[in-house]
């Protein structure tokens, strides 16, 4: 099951409350369900559907517990049920995981299992190893030898151990920090800072950390690093750092390179809020064309991206934005966003921008065309639905109603982010996996509701 989620863990005083607060700070990584596990004699797990605030009640949390893990989930498959919510707990260990295991079929066969989610695979492999007497950290390392995919994972054991691992390719981010005397782990650095903590460092690709109040032990499995470039482009919070690079600054540089390599003649730069804003600022800064907020994003808007039908997605986009007529009237506007996926957002916005009287509309995108589905956890639909998979750049312009559309190339994007050890599979079709899921498996597991 494809999931791009957020995980958190804490060992020390106020562990459950700190995990709860970190989950809230990671809410952008998943809004379908939230859950927390802690240890008080036995492993206790509470989970619910929706936002952290609705799914969990702080009053229910055992404030005396000193070990805890948590999860926010963002999945793409049909209905969201509590059964699929994480952490997943078998009474022996509890697991919260962000990512996807691409070779799950092979593992299922090898282990003679029948599972519904990747988390169950981890749960099984780890429990079996630990029952045999293997230490948790060693079990995680051998799991990483068997599993091919993208995952950042936190585990809590009945013995009171908490461990965290970032997969050997480092696809997803994971950070270590401290809040007072409590050691914490979170998917993003900003979540640790949000709760008044201090980031100690980020986990390296393949690294396993065992948390405790007094000590932190580590082990590591080395591999080739392929961190997800879309974490920089869209997914992570702009105030996070990923492998030492500020996400906000990376996004500004995406805009700067865009202005340099893909200039447009226009009177004003308009960001698509919120995710397109830093890219637009960078674009404006480098081009010298001033930036103005011409699109207003309603704060109570719903997410269009995962709605089940094309018409409901468009309806939500209509409800999501307002257009400032005075900014658009008679102007040649340059609309800047971080990405185009299905093209719904841009098409609808341009229709409204023209209605508001814009003379020309030029679109500039802070990432390359998304042509291939993601098997590493990002919620991209099948090729049929990806706009750039089915159209030439010129046709894209016609489809969305723009006078011109330009994207970054993959090289330009890497240059802007400032690293080359990135996974760019959604742009290039080159998957840094040992084996790509078969067509049949892809259909079963990766089909987005259309
Ligand atoms: P489109 O309407 O083209 O399908 O989606 C593009 C818009 O969705 C952009 O404004 C972009 O910021 C945002 N977006 C890109 N990737 C994702 C994602 O994985 N999830 C969600 N919710 N939005 C995304
Ligand atoms: Mg956006």
The verdict on 220 and 125 lying in the same domain is yes
- Tell me if 193 CB under 6 Å of ligand 1: no
Worst-scoring range by mean pLDDT, 3-12, 208-217, 252-261?
208-217
The verdict on 72 and 192 lying in the same domain is yes
Question: What is the reported pTM?
Answer: 0.94
Whichever domain contains 27, its CATH number is: 3.60.20.10
Does some domain include residue 436? no
The verdict on 253 and 355 lying in the same domain is yes
CA 19 / ligand 1 centre spacing (Å): 27
The verdict on 212 and 253 lying in the same domain is no
The verdict on 211 and 160 lying in the same domain is yes
What confidence tier does 78 reach under pLDDT thresholds 50, 70, 90?
very low
- Tell me if 247 CB under 6 Å of ligand 1: no
Whichever domain contains 335, its CATH number is: 3.40.50.2020
Segment 115-150, tens digit of pLDDT: 778 888 899 999 999 999 999 999 999 999 999 989
Sign of CA pseudo-dihedral 174, 434, 377, 341: positive
Atom of ligand 1 nearest to the CA of 306: 22
The verdict on 338 and 218 lying in the same domain is no
| Packing angle, helices 344-355 and 393-400, rounded to 10 | 50
The verdict on 92 and 192 lying in the same domain is yes
From the CA of 385, which ligand is nearest?
Answer: 1
Number of domains in the chain: 2
SS3 per residue for the chain: CCECCEEEEEECCCHHHHHHHHHHHCHHHCCCEEEEEEEECEEEEEEEECCHHHHCCHHHCCCCCCEEEEEEECECCCCCCHHHCCCEECCCEEEEEEEEECCHHHHHHHHCCCCCCHHHHHHHHHHHHHHCCCCHHHHHHHHHHHCCEEEEEEEEECCCCEEEEECCCCCCCCEEEEECCEEEEECCHHHHHHCCCEEEEECCCCEEEEECCCCCEEEECCCCCCEEHHHHHHHCCCCCEECCEEHHHHHHHHHHHHHHHCCCCCCEEEECCCCCHHHHHHHHHHHCCCECCCEEECCCCCCCCCCCCHHHHHHHHHHHEEECHHHHCCCEEEEEECCCCCCHHHHHHHHHHHHCCCCEEEEEECCCCCCCCCCCCCCCCCCCCCHHHHCCHHHHHHHHCCCEEEECCHHHHHHHHCCCCEECHHHHCCCCCCCCCCHHHHHHHHCCCC
- Which of 126-130's residues contact partners 24+ apart within 8 Å by CB, and which partners? 126/93, 126/95, 126/155, 127/90, 127/92, 127/93, 130/92, 130/93, 130/157
Residue where one domain finishes, among candidates 197, 226, 255: 226
Does some domain include residue 112? yes
Does some domain include residue 439? no
The verdict on 259 and 116 lying in the same domain is no
From the CA of 76, which ligand is nearest?
Answer: 1
Number of neighbouring beta carbons within 10 Å of residue 113? 13
Q: Which domain holds residue 89?
A: 6-226
- Identify which has the larger pLDDT, 1 or 244: 244
- Tell me if 343 CB under 6 Å of ligand 1: yes
Atom of ligand 1 nearest to the CA of 344: 2
Does some domain include residue 50? yes
Does some domain include residue 450? no
Select from 165, 147, 178, 169 the least CA-distant residue to 219.
165
User: Does the structure show a pLDDT above 90 at 79?
Assistant: no
Atom of ligand 1 nearest to the CA of 337: 10
Predicted pLDDT at 235 = 94
Predicted pLDDT at 213 = 73
Does some domain include residue 431? no
The verdict on 42 and 182 lying in the same domain is yes
Segment 46-51 mean pLDDT: 94
Segment 395-442, tens digit of pLDDT: 999 999 999 999 999 999 999 999 999 999 999 999 998 877 766 565
Atom of ligand 1 nearest to the CA of 317: 2
The verdict on 159 and 297 lying in the same domain is no
Does some domain include residue 22? yes
CA 60 / ligand 2 centre spacing (Å): 35
Residue where one domain finishes, among candidates 196, 226, 256: 226
Looking at every residue in the chain, the average pLDDT score rounds to 91
Does some domain include residue 438? no
The verdict on 166 and 123 lying in the same domain is yes
- Tell me if 342 CB under 6 Å of ligand 1: yes
Q: Which residues are catalytically annotated?
A: 5
The verdict on 290 and 182 lying in the same domain is no
What confidence tier does 446 reach under pLDDT thresholds 50, 70, 90?
very low
* Nearest residue (CA) to ligand 1, atom 22: 305
- Tell me if 201 CB under 6 Å of ligand 1: no
What confidence tier does 445 reach under pLDDT thresholds 50, 70, 90?
very low
């Amino acid at each position: 099951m494809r999931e791009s989620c957020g995980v958190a863990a804490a060992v020390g005083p106020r562990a459950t409350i700190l995990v709860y607060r970190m989950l809230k700070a990671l809410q952008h990584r998943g809004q379908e369900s939230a859950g927390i596990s802690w240890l008080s004699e036995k492993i206790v797990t509470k989970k619910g559907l929706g936002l952290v605030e609705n799914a969990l009640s702080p009053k229910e949390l055992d404030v005396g517990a000193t070990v805890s893990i948590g999860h926010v989930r963002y999945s793409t498959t049909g209905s969201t049920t509590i059964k699929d919510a994480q952490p997943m707990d078998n009474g022996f260990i509890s697991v919260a995981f962000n990512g996807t295991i691409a070779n799950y079929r092979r593992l299922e066969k090898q282990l003679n299992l029948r599972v519904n989610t990747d988390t169950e695979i981890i749960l099984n492999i780890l429990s079996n190893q630990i029952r045999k007497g293997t230490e948790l950290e060693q079990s995680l390392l051998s799991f990483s030898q068997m599993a091919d995919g993208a995952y950042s994972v936190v585990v809590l054991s009945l013995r009171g151990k908490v461990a965290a691992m970032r997969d050997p390719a480092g696809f997803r981010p994971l950070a270590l920090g401290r809040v007072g005397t409590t050691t914490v782990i979170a998917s993003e650095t900003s979540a640790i800072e949000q709760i008044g903590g201090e980031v100690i460092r980020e986990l390296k690709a393949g690294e396993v950390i065992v948390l405790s109040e007094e000590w932190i032990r580590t082990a590591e499995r080395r591999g080739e690093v392929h961190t997800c470039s879309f974490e920089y482009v869209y997914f992570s919070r702009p105030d996070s750092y990923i492998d030492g690079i500020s996400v906000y600054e990376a996004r500004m540089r995406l805009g700067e390179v865009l202005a340099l390599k893909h200039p447009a003649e226009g009177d004003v730069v308009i960001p698509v809020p919120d995710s397109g804003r830093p890219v637009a600022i960078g674009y404006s800064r480098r081009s010298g064309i001033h930036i103005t907020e011409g699109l207003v994003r309603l704060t109570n808007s719903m997410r269009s991206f995962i709605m089940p039908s094309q018409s409901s997605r468009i309806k939500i986009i209509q409800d999501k934005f307002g257009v400032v007529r005075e900014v658009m009237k008679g102007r040649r506007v340059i609309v800047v966003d971080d990405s185009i996926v299905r093209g719904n957002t841009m098409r609808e916005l341009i229709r409204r921008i023209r209605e508001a009287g814009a003379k020309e509309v030029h679109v500039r995108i802070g990432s390359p065309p998304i042509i291939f589905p993601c098997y590493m956890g990002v919620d991209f639909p099948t090729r049929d639905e990806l706009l750039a998979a089915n159209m030439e750049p010129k046709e894209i312009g016609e489809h969305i109603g723009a006078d011109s559309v330009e994207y970054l190339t993959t090289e330009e994007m890497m240059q802007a982010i400032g690293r080359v050890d990135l996974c760019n599979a959604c742009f290039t079709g080159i998957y840094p996996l040992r084996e790509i899921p078969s067509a049949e498996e892809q259909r079963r597991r990766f089909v987005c509701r259309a």
